[in-house]
Amino acid sequence: MDSRIVSYLTENKKPSFRYDYAAVAVAFLIIATMWGTFHSFGVFLKPITTELGWTRATISGAFSLSFILMGLLGMVAGKLTDRFGPRVVIVVCGFLLGLGLGLMSQISAIWQLYLFYGAFIGAGMSGCVPSLMSTVARRFFRRRGMMTGIAISGLGVGVLVMSPLANWLISVHGWRTSFFIIGIIVLVLVILPAQLLRRHPRQTGQLLGDGDVERNDLQRIGFSLREAIHSQQFWMFGVALVCVFLGIEAVLLHIVPHAIGLGISAANAATVLAVIGGLGTIGRVVIGSASDRIGNKPALIICFVLVSIALFWLLVAEELWMLYLFAVIFGFGYGGTAALLSPSVAELFGLRSHGSILGVILFSVTIGEASGPVLAGHIFDMTHGYSLAFLLCALVIVIGLILVSFLKTAHSSIK
């Protein structure tokens, strides 16, 4: 046995199982709050357009800017998590997100929209996934997919709760006051739970939550960030994620105004988005658990296929029941894809620099997420419809599916 593993075994204390699962619960709550709030922006799109007279492409541009900054700063957040742990990263991010939402209640010029939503909220969201998912991944091996799926399922629960809540708040208080109220909610539900987060097990003297220390330590010895970037796997995986999340984020932002354009009420349109969130939650847990048994590559292929099928179906969906069916298929595939990001990085590149590598991989995700909404908004402004935008998104996802099918198995990448 490697001397590093022997040293690790002799220096560590008894596993702290209760904290391992508490970390998953805290990650779930914070992700639900932050991402549910972030994805409720589609509900604000029409009232902002109506009052201020800005085009959807203009408003979507601020949303896309937030993704760009999220990705750039996410790489920094991942590195800081590797070095200092998740608590300080999440506290700072939660404060910036709450501040940006509060300031959105005061906007009257486009530059304010881009500063408050694009910059403040983008910076606030940057540390959420790389910091929390790296924290969970470091604590589990055998059940890494399941536990990551449970934690990231907070994203779907957040969308399920926050979109209808935002729609109700807007109907009662208007969109400006609603932004302020949601900002307060974020400050409370992110900063306070973040105080329970600790640094990863090797820094705190604990074993991982499901044992098998030797294999966990071998995973920890994996790739450095530089080594990962120079591998073919890294670029194939990254480009595939650009493709799929371009389509995913275009839909998440524009599905509500698209449904309203089909003659569906604002309340029912918001419910379609909520269904996506609900099925996303199920998808994250089910696909995350399945990946522990069938592997990440087959699970990713399933998710890419589901998302592409859903988008092709959306091209002909004109009635509410058809949109609900779309939301079920799309939400399940989208949720599963999100659950597989951190486990895929852990299997492909190990845990040695997991936060840093995940942060860079998530930047490729944000390239797609930033491109999709503004592309769909621009096409809508030109064609007065979303059909062409959704068709392009579906075709791009098929390209991503092809790339995923050529990925090597995870184990062969870390030997």
| Domain tally, the chain | 1
Smallest CA-to-CA distance from 209 within 125, 146, 263, 267 is with: 146
Question: Are 306 and 252 in contact, with CB atoms under 8 Å apart?
Answer: no
- What pLDDT does 311 receive? 94
Query: What global pTM score does this model have?
Result: 0.68
Burial tier of 205 (Cβ tally within 10 Å: 0-12, 13-18, 19+): exposed
Q: Which residue has the tokens 């009257």?
A: 108
Confidence grade of residue 200 (pLDDT, cut at 50, 70, 90): low
CA dist 282 and 288 (Å) reads: 10
Tokens of 414: 């870390």
For residue 92, is it within any domain? yes
Average of per-residue pLDDT across 37-64: 84
Q: Any idea which of 144-148, 221-225, 303-307, 401-405 has the lowest mean pLDDT?
A: 221-225
The type of residue at 109 is: A
Confidence grade of residue 199 (pLDDT, cut at 50, 70, 90): low
Q: Can you say whether the dihedral through the CA atoms of 337, 338, 339, 341 is positive or negative?
A: positive
CA dist 413 and 93 (Å) reads: 33
Task: Flag whether pLDDT at 97 surpasses 90.
Answer: yes
Report DSSP state, residue 411: H
Alpha carbon 368 to its chain centroid, in Å, reads 12
Question: Are 79 and 224 in contact, with CB atoms under 8 Å apart?
Answer: no
Helix axes of 154-173 and 41-52: crossing angle, nearest 10 degrees: 30
- What pLDDT does 231 receive? 81
Mean pLDDT score of the chain, rounded to an integer? 81
**Which has more confidence, 30 or 43?**
30
Q: What is the 3-state secondary structure (H, E, C) of 317-369?
A: CCCHHHHHHHHHHHHHHHHHHHHHHHHHHHHHHCCCCHHHHHHHHHHHHHHHH
Task: Flag whether pLDDT at 312 surpasses 90.
Answer: yes
Element (H, E) at 37: helix 17-39
Question: Are 151 and 27 in contact, with CB atoms under 8 Å apart?
Answer: yes
Helix axes of 296-314 and 232-261: crossing angle, nearest 10 degrees: 30
**Which has more confidence, 220 or 365?**
365
**Backbone φ, ψ for residue 255 (5° rounding):** -65, -35
Instruction: Give me the domain span that covers residue 244.
Output: 16-203+214-414
**Which has more confidence, 56 or 402?**
402
Confidence grade of residue 55 (pLDDT, cut at 50, 70, 90): confident
For residue 208, is it within any domain? no
Task: Flag whether pLDDT at 213 surpasses 60.
Answer: no
For residue 270, is it within any domain? yes
For residue 192, is it within any domain? yes
CA dist 404 and 239 (Å) reads: 9
Q: Any idea which of 298-302, 357-361, 377-381 has the lowest mean pLDDT?
A: 357-361
Smallest CA-to-CA distance from 297 within 248, 368, 353, 236 is with: 236
- What pLDDT does 215 receive? 44
For residue 2, is it within any domain? no
Question: What is the phi-psi region of residue 350: left when phi exceeds 0, alpha when psi lies from -120 to 50, beta otherwise?
Answer: left
CA dist 202 and 77 (Å) reads: 19
For residue 255, is it within any domain? yes
The three-class DSSP label of residue 263 is: coil
Smallest CA-to-CA distance from 283 within 310, 258, 260, 263 is with: 310
Task: Flag whether pLDDT at 206 surpasses 70.
Answer: no
Percent with pLDDT over 70 in the chain:
86
For residue 6, is it within any domain? no
The pLDDT tens digits for 123-170 are 999 888 888 877 787 777 667 777 777 887 787 778 778 888 888 999
Average of per-residue pLDDT across 25-41: 88
**Backbone φ, ψ for residue 414 (5° rounding):** -110, 5
- What pLDDT does 207 receive? 47
CA dist 378 and 376 (Å) reads: 5
CATH number of residue 394's parent domain: 1.20.1250.20
- What pLDDT does 328 receive? 93
- What pLDDT does 30 receive? 92
The type of residue at 34 is: M
For residue 8, is it within any domain? no
Q: C-alpha dihedral over 390, 393, 394, 397, to 10 degrees?
A: -160
Smallest CA-to-CA distance from 62 within 50, 48, 73, 80 is with: 48
The pLDDT tens digits for 256-282 are 888 888 888 888 888 888 888 788 878
Burial tier of 18 (Cβ tally within 10 Å: 0-12, 13-18, 19+): exposed
Task: Flag whether pLDDT at 395 surpasses 90.
Answer: yes
- What pLDDT does 326 receive? 94
